């Protein structure tokens, strides 16, 4: 037993203190044995110290890593990256010899914006990087700003090689230079005034150029998802010029619309007049046809009548007229008689002296 424990129990038993004090009854010595683990504590102290030291080292060195979903680990042994990435989960490694780098394999976004957005320091962990808008000179050397949004993600299978080649700042070495170079190359072929009208063509050319350049990188380190052309920021003078042109075009379109409307009205009135004239023509034609039909009927009737007239009939009519003539003379001997030639049967007018009454005798 250790000496300090023996002294402790001797004092508890009254040992080393002599006899009784001040008339007190002497204490009866107690024979109490310490617990078994305390008897062997001195022998096992080294083990406990070693265990505690290992625990402290484990806490400080942290020889394990937990990789979350959407991430992957790259283990480096003595500074050399292992080619096989570490999948999400719990992994152990040797401290001070090995090191694990955790990289993000989720979809990431790189914005190029001409407006004042939140700084990059406020966007850490969100997978969004914000850069200044891409400055481009058009075909005539005028400055233009292009706002883009690029979506991409790190290729997990080639991530160790990518990090070994490009480092942890691989985005600024792979994505950013390619996007800026391709955008300047595409937009620089057009004049500033043409950019708004050819926006779709420019967007397609930029995306195809960036995709081709990214896929041409050795090992295909990045998978490009989308490239969106958000805005084309033109110089103020160019904007004013485009606005004036747009106003002029709108005025031309309005004038053209008014002319077209006037033409339509004229055509409508002409059609109405033509319709009325056609109606009158049809009406006149109908009347003419009716007159012709009536004349044809009269002619036919006269023809038929003329066929029915014969020599005996004419003589009969003459005798009848002569009879009427004689009757008129018998009634008024002083009457004036006028003979009007009328073919085979003349008209006879009798004018009396007393009543001045004209009598027409025909047929």
Question: What pLDDT, in 10s, does the model give residues 15-70?
Answer: 444 444 444 555 555 555 655 555 555 556 666 777 787 777 767 767 888 999 98
Which has the higher per-residue pLDDT, 253 or 207?
A: 207
Which segment of 52-61, 171-180, 278-287, 338-347 scores lowest on mean pLDDT? 338-347
Cβ–Cβ under 8 Å, residues 328 and 359: yes
pLDDT surpassing 80 at residue 76: yes
Which has the higher per-residue pLDDT, 101 or 347?
A: 101
Write the pLDDT tens digit of every residue in 159-181. Answer: 999 998 898 889 899 999 999 99
Q: How confident is the model at residue 337 (pLDDT cuts 50, 70, 90)?
A: low
Q: Which among 90, 40, 43, 82 has a CA at the least distance from the CA of 63?
A: 90
Among 15-24, 290-299, 351-360, the range of highest mean pLDDT: 290-299
Integer Cα distance of 205 and 124 in angstroms? 31
Quote the pLDDT of residue 42.
58
331's CB contacts (< 8 A; 6+ apart) are none
Which has the higher per-residue pLDDT, 230 or 288?
A: 230
Quote the pLDDT of residue 125.
57
Integer Cα distance of 167 and 160 in angstroms? 10
Mean pLDDT of 2-24: 49
Percent of the chain with pLDDT over 90: 21
Measured CA to CA in angstroms, residue 281 lies from 142, 174, 275, 284, 287 at distances of 70, 84, 10, 5, 10
Quote the pLDDT of residue 244.
75
Which has the higher per-residue pLDDT, 254 or 180?
A: 180
pLDDT surpassing 80 at residue 122: no
Quote the pLDDT of residue 97.
86
Quote the pLDDT of residue 269.
84
Which has the higher per-residue pLDDT, 241 or 211?
A: 211
- The single residue listed with the structure tokens 């914000």 is 130
Q: Is the CA virtual torsion 52, 53, 59, 62 positive or negative?
A: negative
The model carries a pTM of 0.54
Integer Cα distance of 200 and 143 in angstroms? 20
Which has the higher per-residue pLDDT, 45 or 143?
A: 143
Integer Cα distance of 221 and 103 in angstroms? 13
Quote the pLDDT of residue 19.
46
Among 272-276, 314-318, 354-358, the range of highest mean pLDDT: 272-276
Quote the pLDDT of residue 45.
65
CA angle 244, 249, 253 (to 5 degrees): 150
pLDDT surpassing 50 at residue 362: no
Cβ–Cβ under 8 Å, residues 321 and 350: no
């Amino acid at each position: 037993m250790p000496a300090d424990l023996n002294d402790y129990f001797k004092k508890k038993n009254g040992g080393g203190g002599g006899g009784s004090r001040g008339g007190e009854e002497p204490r009866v010595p107690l024979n109490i044995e310490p617990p078994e683990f305390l008897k062997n504590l001195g022998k096992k102290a080294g083990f406990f110290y070693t265990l505690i030291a290992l625990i402290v080292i484990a806490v400080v060195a942290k020889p394990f890593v937990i990789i979350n979903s959407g991430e992957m680990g790259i283990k480096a042994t003595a500074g050399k990256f292992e080619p096989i990435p570490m999948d999400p989960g719990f992994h152990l490694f040797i401290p001070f010899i090995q090191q694990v780098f955790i990289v993000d394999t989720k979809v990431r976004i790189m914005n190029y914006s001409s407006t004042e957005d939140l700084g990059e320091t406020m966007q850490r962990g969100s997978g969004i990087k914000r850069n200044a808008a891409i400055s481009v000179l058009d075909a005539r050397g005028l400055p233009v700003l292009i706002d883009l949004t690029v979506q991409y993600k790190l290729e997990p299978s080639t991530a160790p090689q990518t990090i070994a080649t490009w480092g942890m700042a691989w985005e600024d070495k792979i994505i950013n230079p390619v996007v800026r170079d391709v955008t300047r190359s595409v937009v620089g072929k057009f004049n500033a005034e043409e950019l708004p009208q050819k926006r779709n063509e420019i967007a397609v050319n930029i995306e195809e150029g960036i995709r081709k350049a990214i896929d041409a990188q050795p090992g295909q380190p990045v998978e490009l998802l989308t490239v969106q052309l958000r805005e084309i920021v033109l110089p103020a003078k160019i904007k004013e010029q485009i606005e004036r042109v747009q106003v002029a075009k709108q005025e031309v379109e309005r004038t053209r619309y008014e002319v077209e409307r006037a033409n339509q009205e004229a055509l409508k009135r002409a059609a109405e007049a033509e319709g009325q004239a056609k109606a009158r023509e049809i009406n006149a034609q109908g009347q003419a046809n009716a007159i012709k039909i009536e004349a044809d009927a009269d002619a036919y009737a006269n023809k038929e009548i003329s066929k029915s007239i014969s020599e005996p009939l004419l003589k009969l009519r003459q005798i009848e007229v002569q009879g009427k003539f004689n009757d008129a003379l018998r009634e008024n001997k002083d009457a004036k008689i006028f003979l009007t030639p009328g073919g085979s049967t003349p008209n006879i007018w009798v004018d009396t002296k007393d009543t001045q009454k004209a009598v027409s005798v025909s047929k």
